[in-house]
Structure 1
Amino acid sequence: MDIDGIAAVVTGAASGLGAATAAHLAARGATVFGLDLETSIAAAGPVPDGVTLLPADVTQEEPVRAAVATAAGAAPLRLAVNCAGIAPSARILSRRGPHDLELFHTVLKVNLLGTFNVMRLASEEIAKTEPDTHGQRGLIVDTASIAAFEAQVGQVAYAASKAGVAGMTVTAARDLAQYGIRVVTIAPGIVDTPMMSGFSDDVRAGLAASVTFPQRLAGPDEYARLVGMVAEHDYLNGETIRMDGALRMTAR
């Protein structure tokens, strides 16, 4: 799929993986509409040319539907990238008592339901575009995490939500195959995003040392480039790709 000239929707686009992906796609000729919460957009830095930030909560139908329609009205919508997510930490049982049920619900709602909501609404619009010579109309890229496979203590809600995202991948690819829409999930390891800004240099160095190779944190731009590679590689479908430097998380 050629990125140049298409419209793309990217969630969580005000910072981190989403911001890097939106900028990368715009630099390659896409008209990008980035979705994020109003508060996140207000706190965002300069927006690259070719990127328009739209306020939308990924867990709500109407704002996402409106944003997707706006994107589809600007150019053929052929790409949606789900980067929005949250990662609070809490154990199933601790000295404070059992895991807060509402927190677990919120993590699943944002990370899993939000991803599904964008996927279903974006695919509806992508299916309306003209197919290429191989019948392809577009691509949806979802974001899981290596925590979907081996999460650390305190990550039960996050792990459940990201395992759900990974678990949707093959079924979603099969569901959308008749419309010429591919579905691929990326499972990043430790990425240097704003979520990491609260950690000390020593903690960050320890995290980097835990990576097999290269022994450093991944950059958001590396995630963005992988999205571009997946878009161009038309035979990638129904797969979850680990981007983790061969890291396998330990319990702590």
Structure 2
Amino acid sequence: MLSNLKNVVALITGGSSGLGKSTAEYLIKQGCKGVVIFDLPTSKGKQVASELGKNCLFAPGDVRNVDDINQTLDLIKKEFNQLNALINCAGISVAYKTYNFHKNVAHSLEDFEKVLMVNTLGTFNVTRLAVGLMAQNKSQSINLSHTNNASKDFQPINPQIIYKQNYNKKPQPSSNLMTNINRHFSQQISDNGIHHEAKETNTEKMENTDAKIVEEKGVVIMTSASAALDYNGQSGQVAFAASKAAVAGMTIPLARDFSDNGIRVCTIAPGLYLSYPSKLKASRSVLRQRWQTIN
């Protein structure tokens, strides 16, 4: 379905900046039928939507507020009469150690709670309401093995194998920032954003690969973080890492909840990234030069 973006209406939380804004810019550039930016009234969402043109709307609101979300869904129903993609990008972070031994101060419980409320509860809150509108779409048949952007050697991915390859590891100390940057940039970077590309060997293919045609009504994309996976969480990121680990943990249960209604669920876990449409190669070079300068 999403291989033809001209028929897609997308709701993007946190769409006025960062990853959300980059996603909105990309979808509009690809001729998306409609993009709705859902962000705080104090954000630059109205300005961003205006800059992106008539197919982009701004809906002010808070991912924690049920009334705000329902009003946004009513707007989408009125303007487009469909919702095909929910892209959860809204998120916040704080940087505090669990206990500051120099000042004898513990991590604020209020700050910890706020991060979880926005990142975890907010993601769940928008998702649980948005799929009701998404389920009203007519089902479309898609071929998982022959999408426009699929590589020729693509094989279905076995989640158990991916876990063994990527997450069943002993923690390794980070040598320096550049090592982490290179690791994050080694992720596949495409116009669709950043996602981790995992492949299987021929002996590790799933047993049942025949069912490649599926009926789909929409897709939910959630945003976790590398800080929540693979021992990448840094000192001071306990609240952020916990909230994003919870988002990753919701992926499979949500996918199973919605599978009978043709709604897919997936989660990305970006690390450091450069927002589209930044000049990627130039930015990489500048980043490396700065690192070399301070070392």
How far the C-alpha of 1:71 sits from its partner, in A, is 1.4
Q: Cα–Cα, structure 1 residues 27 and 173, in superposed 2: closer, same or farther, change >3 Å?
A: same
Aligned to 1:34: 37
Higher Cα Rg, which structure = 2
How far the C-alpha of 1:87 sits from its partner, in A, is 1.4
Aligned to 1:181: 263
With the length of structure 2 as denominator, give the TM-score of the two structures: 0.64
Which of 228, 231, 243 matches 1:148?
228
The question of whether the paired residues in 2 share the 8 Å contact of 1:8 and 1:71 is answered with no
Distance 1:43 1:52 in 2: 8
Aligned to 1:52: 57
1:36-76 per-residue CA deviation (whole Å, 9 max, x = no partner) reads 00111368555302211110101111101111221133332
Q: Which amino acid aligns with 2:30?
A: R
Deviates further, 34-43 or 16-25: 34-43
1:67-108 per-residue CA deviation (whole Å, 9 max, x = no partner) reads 122113333211000001011111111133111000000000
1:142-195 per-residue CA deviation (whole Å, 9 max, x = no partner) reads 0111011120000000000000000000111111101100001011010246xx
Gaps of 5+ in 1: 194-200, 211-252
The question of whether the paired residues in 1 share the 8 Å contact of 2:135 and 2:217 is answered with yes
Aligned to 2:7: 5
Distance 1:78 1:179 in 2: 13
Q: Is residue 162 of structure 1 aligned with residue 244 of structure 2?
A: yes
The question of whether the paired residues in 2 share the 8 Å contact of 1:147 and 1:159 is answered with yes
Task: Give the secondary-structure state (helix, strand or coil) at the position aligned to 1:39.
Answer: coil
Q: Is residue 90 of structure 1 aligned with residue 74 of structure 2?
A: no
Question: 1:1-252 to 2 correspondence within 5 Å?
Answer: 1=1, 2-30=4-32, 31-41=34-44, 44-45=47-48, 47-49=51-53, 50-75=55-80, 76-94=82-100, 95-96=102-103, 97-133=105-141, 134-149=214-229, 150-192=232-274, 205=287
Task: Give the secondary-structure state (helix, strand or coil) at the position aligned to 2:85.
Answer: strand
Identity within the alignment, %: 37
Task: Give the secondary-structure state (helix, strand or coil) at the position aligned to 2:16.
Answer: coil
Distance 1:174 1:110 in 2: 24
Distance 2:272 2:290 in 1: 8
Distance 1:90 1:99 in 2: 6
Task: Give the secondary-structure state (helix, strand or coil) at the position aligned to 2:234.
Answer: coil
The question of whether the paired residues in 2 share the 8 Å contact of 1:90 and 1:99 is answered with yes
Aligned residue pair count: 201
Gaps of 5+ in 2: 142-213, 276-282
How far the C-alpha of 1:26 sits from its partner, in A, is 1.9
How far the C-alpha of 1:4 sits from its partner, in A, is 1.2
The question of whether the paired residues in 1 share the 8 Å contact of 2:45 and 2:58 is answered with no
Task: Give the secondary-structure state (helix, strand or coil) at the position aligned to 2:114.
Answer: helix
Q: Cα–Cα, structure 1 residues 7 and 48, in superposed 2: closer, same or farther, change >3 Å?
A: same
Q: Cα–Cα, structure 1 residues 108 and 60, in superposed 2: closer, same or farther, change >3 Å?
A: same
With the length of structure 1 as denominator, give the TM-score of the two structures: 0.74
Aligned to 1:198: none
